[in-house]
């Protein structure tokens, strides 16, 4: 962050955004009346790519204390004439999960725009993503390598984020993606979601787990996240920074808040970047479409890689064979968690919970057993035995 000092006489820019109904990009996704609050402060960062301005503002009466926060602008073109150190006053509009600034007036206190901090470098599609290491909501160490053969969607949040169109919106989008993927079992098995906190000192594994349950309860009337498919992650400050900065994230601590940009990434089964979404304008449907495209390309590649051995025993239609290690058994729900190898023509190697056709199938199986199993295309095990 660069704060530019006064040089000569302050040059006054009056940047008046016309008062009208919000344009489509700012239209709230949740119902509710628009609330307006006067806001004053100093510009500390201009992120043109993310289309946000970060303002160290005074207390906003009736809404929030003085702090430094990023804001969207009703008229993004105003970002072109803003610089670090400018004084700003505007109207903060909050409508459901959306918020933005309008009626913007800026006093520029520097004519030296070369001192503005440069945007951090971002990776390009096709770049190999480093094999980062973090800790998930269960306190278990995770690495990028363990998601190989699946498409991985990564976003960045923190649990105390107060702006509805920042972290809460990213989490809402991930909930929508999770619901859509669950309705497509084949695609669900080839994908994984990961939310990484940028506030690792506060967001412990326990806090992340409680946050996920709370968000699901509020948005889906369900407090039982499927952490086998959607994980939340923290780590040391250096571990988180290594991941976040690779994707071009900008963030810093300001009291008990974290000022940050937004980045969401789709990583292919080969560990290479497929797509990077800056800001919060992307939609869950876009990510689903990208995941379908990646899955189709991976399937095409797999079919040309090696044919299935002709000597393999012929199975009934829509059934498949797998081998793996039992990690968890829940007889009440007739579910078994198996860390399995590739299941030819169905899914890559992964750890996944499966339903069993009959609870009695679990009577002769224990956690830690190496097993052979047969499964339907709907992911229901109808035969299983120790190897």
For 345-354, the pLDDT digits (tens) are 777 788 888 8
Query: 224: pLDDT confidence band, cut at 50, 70 and 90?
Result: low
Distance CA 100, CA 32 (A): 15
Q: Where are the beta strands (DSSP E) in the chain?
A: 11-13, 35-47, 52-57, 67-72, 87-95, 98-108, 133-136, 141-143, 151-157, 191-197, 230-234, 251-254, 257-260, 263-267, 273-278, 319-330, 335-340, 350-356, 370-376, 380-386
Where does 319-386 sit in CATH, by number?
2.40.50.320
Distance CA 383, CA 24 (A): 53
Q: What is the per-residue pLDDT across 295-313, written as a single tens digit (0 to 9) for each?
A: 888 776 655 555 544 444 4
Domain 11-115 and domain 133-305, same fold? Reply is no
Ranges 18-22, 107-111, 232-236, 272-276: which has the least confidence: 18-22
For 135-155, the DSSP string reads: EETTS-EEEGGGGTTSEEEEE
User: Is the whole model's pTM more than 0.75, yes or no?
Assistant: no
Q: How many residues does the chain have?
A: 387
Angle between helices 205-220 and 167-182 (to 10 degrees): 70
Q: Tell me the angle at which helices 284-305 and 167-182 cross, rounded to the nearest 10 degrees.
A: 50
Which among 369, 374, 376 is positioned nearest to 384, based on CA atoms? 374
Note the CATH number of domain 11-115.
2.40.50.320
Would you list the domain boundaries of the chain? Answer: 11-115, 133-305, 319-386
Whole-number pLDDT of residue 13: 33
pLDDT digits (tens, 9 = 90+) for 61-93: 988 888 888 899 988 888 888 888 888 989 999
| Euclidean distance between CA atoms 19 and 194, whole angstroms | 39
Kindly tell me if the per-residue pLDDT of 99 is higher than 50: yes
pLDDT higher than 90, residue 172: yes
In the chain, the percentage of residues whose pLDDT exceeds 90 is 44
- Asked if 29 and 97 touch (Cβ cutoff 8 Å), the reply is yes
Per-residue confidence at 7, pLDDT binned at 50, 70, 90? very low
- Collapsing DSSP to helix, strand or coil, 102 comes out as strand
The tokens for 33 are 């009346």
Task: Identify the residue whose tokens are 């505007």.
Answer: 90
Q: Which of 26-40, 272-286, 313-327 has the highest mean predicted lDDT (pLDDT)?
A: 272-286
Least confident of 80-84, 189-193, 368-372: 80-84
Q: What is the pLDDT of residues 314-351, one digit of tens each?
A: 556 678 899 999 998 988 888 899 988 888 877 778 88
Cα–Cα distance, 140 to 126 (Å, whole number) = 29
pLDDT reported for residue 315? 56
At 311, list the tokens. 């000597």
- Alpha-helix residue ranges (DSSP H) falling in 183-283: 185-188, 205-220, 237-246
236-258: average pLDDT: 89
pLDDT at 11 (0 to 100) = 35
108-161: per-residue pLDDT in tens?
Answer: 654 333 323 334 468 999 999 999 999 999 999 999 889 988 999 999 999 999
Pick the CATH number of 133-305 from 3.50.50.60, 3.20.20.70, 1.10.8.50, 3.40.30.10: 3.40.30.10
CB 274 within 8 A of CB 147: no
- pLDDT, position 117: 37
């Amino acid at each position: 962050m660069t704060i530019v000092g006064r040089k000569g006489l302050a040059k006054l820019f009056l940047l008046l955004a016309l008062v009208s109904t919000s344009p489509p990009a700012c239209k709230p996704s949740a119902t509710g009346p628009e609330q307006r609050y006067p806001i004053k402060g100093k510009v500390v960062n201009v992120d043109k790519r993310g289309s946000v301005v970060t303002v160290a503002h005074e207390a906003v009466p009736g809404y929030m204390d003085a702090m430094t926060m990023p804001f969207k602008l009703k008229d993004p073109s105003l970002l072109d004439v803003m610089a670090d150190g400018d004084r700003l006053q505007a109207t903060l509009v909050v409508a459901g999960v959306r918020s933005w600034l309008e009626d913007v007036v800026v006093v520029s206190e520097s004519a030296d725009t070369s001192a503005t901090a440069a945007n951090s470098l971002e990776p390009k599609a096709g770049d190999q993503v480093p094999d980062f290491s973090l800790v998930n909501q269960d306190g278990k160490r995770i690495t990028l390598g363990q998601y190989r053969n699946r498409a991985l969607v990564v976003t960045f949040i923190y649990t105390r984020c107060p702006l509805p169109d920042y972290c809460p919106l990213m989490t809402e989008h991930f909930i929508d993606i999770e619901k859509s993927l669950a309705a497509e079992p084949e695609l669900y098995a080839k994908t994984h979601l990961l939310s990484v906190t940028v506030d690792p000192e506060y967001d412990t594994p326990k806090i992340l787990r409680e946050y996920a349950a709370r968000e699901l309860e509020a948005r889906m009337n369900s407090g039982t996240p499927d952490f086998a498919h959607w994980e939340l992650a923290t780590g040391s400050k250096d571990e988180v920074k290594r991941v976040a900065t690779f994707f071009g994230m900008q963030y810093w601590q300001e009291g008990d808040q974290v000022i940050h940009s937004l980045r969401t990434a789709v990583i292919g089964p080969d560990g290479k970047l497929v797509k990077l979404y800056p800001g919060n304008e992307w939609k869950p449907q876009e990510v689903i479409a990208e995941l379908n495209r990646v899955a189709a390309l991976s399937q095409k590649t797999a079919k040309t890689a090696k044919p299935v051995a002709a000597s393999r025993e012929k199975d009934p239609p829509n059934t498949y064979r797998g081998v793996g290690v039992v990690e968890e058994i829940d007889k009440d729900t007739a579910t078994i968690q198996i860390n399995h190898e590739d299941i030819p023509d169905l899914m890559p190697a992964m750890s996944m919970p499966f339903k069993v056709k009959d609870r009695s199938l679990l009577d002769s199986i224990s956690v830690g057993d190496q097993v052979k199993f047969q499964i339907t295309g709907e992911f229901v095990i109808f035969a299983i035995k120790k190897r």
